[in-house]
Structure 1
Amino acid sequence: MERGNKVSRWLRRRPGAAGADTPAGSAERDRLLLAAVAAAFRVAPAARPSGYGCSCDRVGCPTPGMHPVSFAWQTEASADPERVTRWLRADPRSNFISATGTGHDVLDVPAEAGRLALARLDARGTATGPVARYGEDRTLFFTASRGTPDDEDEWWPCELDCHPETLEEHPGLRWHCRGSYVLLPPSRLPDGTAVDWLRPPLLPLPDPLTLLDVLTDACARVAVPEADGAV
């Protein structure tokens, strides 16, 4: 259902409707991206929507504007503002991804679950850290990372781990850790919506476990009506 909604919005949109190509829009875009870099998020250039397709060379790209430009994005990702500025100047319209699993992880939930969780966390007085809205479909909670321990036996295996190629298998909670990435604000999505900040990137990153119970409960509450309506 989620993928179908994205495709239908994509087909209805007007090419170029995102409107971030004006000088003012470009300056704001640069400011937002460099704010994330100042927060030590490692970023790398990503493709961008182009008409009804993708700026990459792949015919029939399945994720237009939503993937890194380079296959070496994990090693190229950088928090060096000078390097990022060069990327911005090379393609002022490109999206950017942030590599997860080192400086930060991301807990990625359906938008309605994100709204419920934010209200509950605020009522508790729990610091949420940076939070982004991923178009109309998802909410991204940026957290501290579990890291990459030298001893693999110390790695906490988790069925919630989510990699870019398995997104469709995780309609509820997705945990982006090492080997994964998320589009970073202010990226533009194929359906004409955007990735933007609800809470700024310079906020301290919380331990993911302080958010996990609230996010899983919110996802369960959102999923119940969907299950009741299933045929």
Structure 2
Amino acid sequence: MERESRFDRWLRQFTRSGPRAKARNAGAQADAARARTELLLTAAEAGFPLAPAAHPSGYGCSCVRIGCPTPGRHPVSFGWQTQATTDPAQIRRWAESQPEANFITATGKDHDVLDVPAEAGRAALERLESEEVPLGPVAISGGDRMLFFTATRGTPEDEEEWWPCELDCHPETMDEHPGLRWHCRGSYVLVPPARLPGRGEEAGVRWVRPPVSGAGGTEVLPEPLMLLEALTDACASYTGEETAPWPVR
């Protein structure tokens, strides 16, 4: 067996860590940063108000909370509902000044999100596509949840007809809702591209059906009730029991 010389070892290490390699790495990082910013701007252009969120730090969270129950999944600011914006200049500033940050979109003002187990979501998506039901953007989060972006119920005239969603505001309750979660006013979800603790493609949030701009400059979203039957049926099959289509308080 031929032994590797010291020069060969040095040359290999230099090739991996020399000026050319550093330039390639810097170029790749710049490309990734541009792609990240473009994805965020596309989401904002589709009408999804964004705000900065925490990001993974090792297997934990970048926030200062000890034992954070949702590492990398929550907003940075307590004022995220008023902070969230679709202004491209502000989003670009955030993206450039916080290169590791994830971003959330505040739901209930311009859009809602129906959040289901990934297995149920895939089954529902296949059914909805086969029935030619109009769909909006769809994302997969962490490999175990699927997010269907819909029009919002908004603020009805009769407040008795409105319910808040606090699942993400109080993440310690999320395990109590393993089926369908309806993110409306008072809630949020991560938007792609987002990183979660762990490794591999599943440790993040990515688009399955990315957003597109409509004629008015915003995403044309389906009414949530158009998707609800397929999603609840799929969740019932997934969990083996009936699931409530919104949080029971």
TM > 0.5 fold call: yes
Q: Secondary structure at the match of 2:78?
A: coil
Q: How does 1:145-160 map to 2 (within 5 A)?
A: 145-153=152-160, 155-157=161-163
Distance 1:142 1:48 in 2: 22
| 189, 198, 219: which one aligns with 1:191 | 198
Aligned pairs, how many? 202
Deviation at 1:90, TM superposition (A): 1.1
Query: What amino acid is the match of 1:138?
Result: R
Deviation at 1:52, TM superposition (A): 2.1
Question: More deviation in 186-195 or 104-113?
Answer: 186-195
Q: Which has the higher contact order (CA 8 A, sep 6+)?
A: 1
Deviation at 1:162, TM superposition (A): 5.0
| 154, 167, 170: which one aligns with 1:163 | 167
Preserved contact between residue 139 and residue 209 of structure 2 (Cα < 8 Å): yes
Residue deviations 1:61-101, cap 9 Å, x none? 22111110000000100010111111111111100000000
After TM superposition, the score normalised by the length of structure 1 is: 0.83
After TM superposition, the score normalised by the length of structure 2 is: 0.77
Cα 1:77–1:157 shift into 2, 3 Å: closer
> Does the alignment pair 1:221 with 2:228?
no
Output the aligned Cα RMSD.
Answer: 1.6
Query: What amino acid is the match of 1:98?
Result: T
Q: Secondary structure at the match of 1:209?
A: helix
Distance 1:83 1:41 in 2: 14
> Does the alignment pair 1:79 with 2:83?
no
Structure 1 unaligned spans of 5+: 1-20, 226-231
Deviation at 1:151, TM superposition (A): 3.6
Deviation at 1:152, TM superposition (A): 1.2
Cα 1:127–1:182 shift into 2, 3 Å: same
Deviation at 1:204, TM superposition (A): 2.0
Distance 1:151 1:116 in 2: 35
> Does the alignment pair 1:26 with 2:9?
no
Q: Secondary structure at the match of 1:128?
A: coil
Cα 1:71–1:156 shift into 2, 3 Å: closer
Deviation at 1:190, TM superposition (A): 1.2
> Does the alignment pair 1:40 with 2:35?
no
Query: What amino acid is the match of 2:205?
Result: V
Structure 2 unaligned spans of 5+: 1-27, 213-218, 242-249
Residue deviations 1:90-137, cap 9 Å, x none? 111100000000000000000000110011001101112110011210
Q: Secondary structure at the match of 1:22?
A: helix
Distance 2:108 2:115 in 1: 14
Q: Secondary structure at the match of 2:136?
A: coil
Identity over the aligned pairs, expressed in percent?
59
What's the counterpart of residue 123 of structure 1?
130
Query: What amino acid is the match of 1:194?
Result: G
